[in-house]
Amino acid sequence: MKKIEVIMRPEKVGIMKAILSEIGATGAMFSSVQGYGSEHSEQYIYNGEQFYEQLFSKTKVEVVVKDELVEPLINLVVTRISSGKIGDGRIFVYNLEEAVRVRTGERGESSL
């Protein structure tokens, strides 16, 4: 099992939900986050002083999938979410040792 974390533009959430449904993901967590990277900040002027946006709004998607779904998920995200511009986001893949469904005690892939 792998945990996939996708940091992406908020306006692409609908596409991401469709991708997860298409690959058969049984659930995911979507969070609104702020961060910075290589995106250029916008300049604001207030009372004659210049200010720059330091943090950008993003959506973080966390999903746990079987190993064989990792590459299809990455490929779909890269082809459908990308605008080709700075700020499209990142994908992180983590090994997951264990997953337990709290309600039933099921473990491993069957708990997904």
Is 16's pLDDT higher than 90? yes
Q: Indicate the average pLDDT of the chain.
A: 92
Work out the average pLDDT over 4-33: 97
The two three-digit tokens of residue 49, written as one number: 């002083």
**Token output for 38:** 């290589």
pLDDT of residue 72: 98
Burial 11-49 (b: 16+ CB within 10 A, else e): ebeeebeebbeebebeebebeeeeeeeeeeeeeeeeeee
Q: What is the pTM of this model?
A: 0.84
87 versus 39: the higher-pLDDT residue is: 87
Does position 26 have pLDDT exceeding 70, yes or no? Answer: yes
Give strand ranges (E) for 1-112.
Answer: 2-8, 29-35, 43-46, 49-52, 56-65, 89-95
Q: Among 26-30, 38-42, 55-59, 75-79, whose mean pLDDT is lowest?
A: 38-42
CATH topology of domain 2-111: Alpha-Beta Plaits (3.30.70)
Cα distance between residue 105 and residue 53, in whole Å: 46
* Residue-level pLDDT at 23: 97
- What are the structural domain ranges in the chain? 2-111
pLDDT of 45-99, one tens digit each?
Answer: 778 887 776 788 999 999 999 999 999 999 999 999 999 998 899 999 999 999 9
